[in-house]
Amino acid sequence: MSVGVGIRIVGVRQSDGLVLVGVLSPDGTEVSIVTDLDTFWASPHGFVAASPTGATQQVEHVELVPPVVKSARVLCVGLNYSDHVKEGSYRDEPLPEIPTLFARWPASLSIDGAGIPVPSTEDGLDWEGEVVAWIGAPLVDATPEEALAAVVGYSTFNDVTSRRAQKETSQWTMGKNGDRSGPIGPMVPAAVVGDLRDGLQIETRVNGEVVQHGSTAQMIYGVGETLAHISRSFTINPGDLLATGTPSGVGYARTPPWLLHPGDVVEVEVERLGVLTNHIVDNTHRHQALFAAPNESEKV
Ligand code: MG
């Protein structure tokens, strides 16, 4: 798979808790500050098109975080690749005309390199390699074309799932909001990425073995259509995110099931967006994080 990666936008948390937005250098060792998070999301299309003018910092000396505002909604499409629908527990039902949507809180998001703990109630965690769209303009009763034009960037995402909790009831919230369970890669400007309907290759690997391989061209509900649909029920704000669903090959649908355990390494690679690498840790890391300084909790 080719890994042509362009501009990569990240959050940089300062020691006082303020989050700035920066652009990574091509080798990933430096970050050039653009502006603070709220200013960025007030005019994101302008900032992604301009060169950063702020100070340059060494990545090893700063804490990277997702460039997500606290008020952001993380909207997620379930069952958006037909081959994934066929492998799961909804396989005998007709494809719904309306996308299944669920929500994550921003508190569940983490970054490339983060350790993801297995909750004490789970036998392991499942992987879902995905693409996230970042929305850069308000959307109210938008057309699909207007909604797609509002997307300011895309990121590689892993919708890491606690399957036992997800399947325990009809609502998915408990299974989709585990601590650090939503690692999200740097944002790449939409103008660089192009249209997902043209087909970006997406691949998930566990300990180096390919477990998912698909193309974003296989999506049932497009980004524009899904955002337009949501915008008829509530206003989508700049800084909100849309996780676009996963291809087939998740762990629980395999025979026998295959879940992630402490020590495993899971990678999601999306063409033009880059590789997202995370390792799995045990539940004690959730308790340790309670006592760590805020700027340490993301690095466990
Ligand atoms: Mg998913």
Instruction: Please tell me the chain's helix, strand, coil percentages from 3-state DSSP, rounded to the nearest 5.
Output: 25, 35, 45
Cα of 282 vs centre of ligand 1, distance in Å, is: 22
pLDDT-flagged residues of the chain (< 70): 1-6, 289-300
pLDDT of residue 292: 53
Which of 3.90.79.10, 1.10.3720.10, 3.90.850.10, 1.10.287.1260 would CATH assign to domain 68-297? 3.90.850.10
Cα of 29 vs centre of ligand 1, distance in Å, is: 30
User: What secondary structure, in 3-state letters, does 5-22 show?
Assistant: CCCCEEEEECCCCCEEEE
Contact criterion met (CB below 8 Å) for 105 and 177: yes
pLDDT of residue 290: 60
Identify which of 123, 122, 121, 153 has the alpha carbon closest to the alpha carbon of residue 136: 153
The domain ranges of the chain are: 68-297
- What secondary structure does DSSP assign to 243-275, as a single string? E----S--STTSSS---B-TT-EEEEEETTTEE
Which residues surround the ion ligand 1 when the cut-off is CB under 5 Å? 128, 159, 246
H-run or E-run covering 164: helix 163-168
Cα of 79 vs centre of ligand 1, distance in Å, is: 7
pLDDT of residue 143: 98
